[in-house]
Every structure is written in C-alpha cells, then in structure tokens.
Amino acid sequence: MDFNTENKLFDWARGFVVDLDKNTGLSPQIETGARYLSQMKGAFHDEEAEKALLAAGDPVIYEFHRNQSRGTKGDLIFGCSIIQPGKVGDEYHMTKGHFHSPADICEVYYCIGGEGYMMLENEAGDWSCLALHDCQVCYVPKGYAHRLICTGDTPFVVFFVNHAECGQNYGAIETKGFHKLLVERDGRPAIIDNPKWAE
C-alpha cells in the first residue's frame, strides 16, 4: 500500500507509479499502440516477402505502451516497446527508428525481456549495432538515430526513458532507412549494406 499520496495518476508534481505490463493489466491512460507491417511500407528490403505477408494478413511488428500525459519541460516520458519475433524475408522484425528533435537529446533503453539489437547511426553515417538482452541497458547518444531489432524467438521488450520535450524526427529513415540492415545468415544475425543507400 502507498503512504501519504493522493493516488493521482501521473502526479508529475509529487510522484507516481504506473503498471506497464499488459499481461497483468496496464494503468488507465497508458496509451497502447501497434505498428502493423502495412504501416511500415518500404522499411524492409524484401518487397516480395512483404507483399506475401500482407496478403496473408498484415502481422503486428511491434507494440508500445506509454503515458499519455507528458508532463512539462524537465519531466521525463517513459514506456515500453515490444517487438514481436519474426522476419520479413531474411530481415528481422524491427521498429521504424528515429532521430530526436531536438537532435541533442539522448535516451536509455533497459531490456526487460527477450533479445535483440539496437541499431545506431548518425547523420554522418557512423553506425553500430549493439546486442542487447534482459537486464542490460543501452545508452543512445546525442545525434544518433536508433532502431530496435528482435532476433530471438520471444518478444523483445524494452523500457525507455526520455525527456518530455523530445520529439521524433524520421529524416532520411522515412525514404531510405538505415545504412545497414540486420538479416539472418546461416541462422545467425548478420549485417548487410542497405541497397537504398548504394547510389
């Protein structure tokens, strides 16, 4: 039980606790959303595989739960992303990915289930792809676009914390994606060049 609280949801002034696990029940006003394959046109490199999956029923690629209330400057927003296991062709399920707006805001991701990768790249094309499993934290530095990729057989679940004033900027990701792709080769994750960046 709680002590000395009015039990207001999202009491940005005095503190609060919310439930973020949909299996045990989300708190009211926790916004949930799902990204279906049909909402990620062109994100995966194998267009034939994408078409076949869409014809068979448009799978959920990832979901998110976050607080609808954002607080004000100096507060933090947080939530969970859940990337479902699976592939489109040889490419693992992943989030769309984004830069921050303003660009000089960093973020942390704490993995609480499953396994996968964080793909990072900056405007200059510097990139890395970091393996991440439960109880590990990924630090996303300023100026780097970031994308989560599920490579395990179970949902890849991460908790994120970010500044309340942070927006998302898709930049070149919308049209070309990231410079590198994570695909399955001989049963293992491998990096290949994204053909859309070749020209």
Q: Which residues make up the interface to Mn ion (CB under 5 A)? A: 107
135 with 101: CB under 8 angstroms? no
Between CA 15 and CA 28 the distance in angstroms is 16
> In 3D, which of 138, 178, 179, 136 has the Cα closest to residue 162?
138
Q: Which two tokens stand for residue 85?
A: 């296991």
Nearer to Mn ion, 69 or 168 (CB): 168
Nearer to Mn ion, 50 or 107 (CB): 107
Please report how close the Cβ of residue 9 comes to Mn ion at its closest, in angstroms.
24
Nearer to Mn ion, 50 or 109 (CB): 109
List, in order, residues 6 or more apart from 47 with CB less than 8 Å away.
Answer: none
- Strand (E) or helix (H) holding 127: strand 127-133
Please report how close the Cβ of residue 105 comes to Mn ion at its closest, in angstroms.
8
Please report how close the Cβ of residue 94 comes to Mn ion at its closest, in angstroms.
14
If you ran DSSP here, which 8-state letter would residue 114 be given? S
Please report how close the Cβ of residue 60 comes to Mn ion at its closest, in angstroms.
20
- Residue number of the CB atom closest to Mn ion: 107
Nearer to Mn ion, 82 or 183 (CB): 82
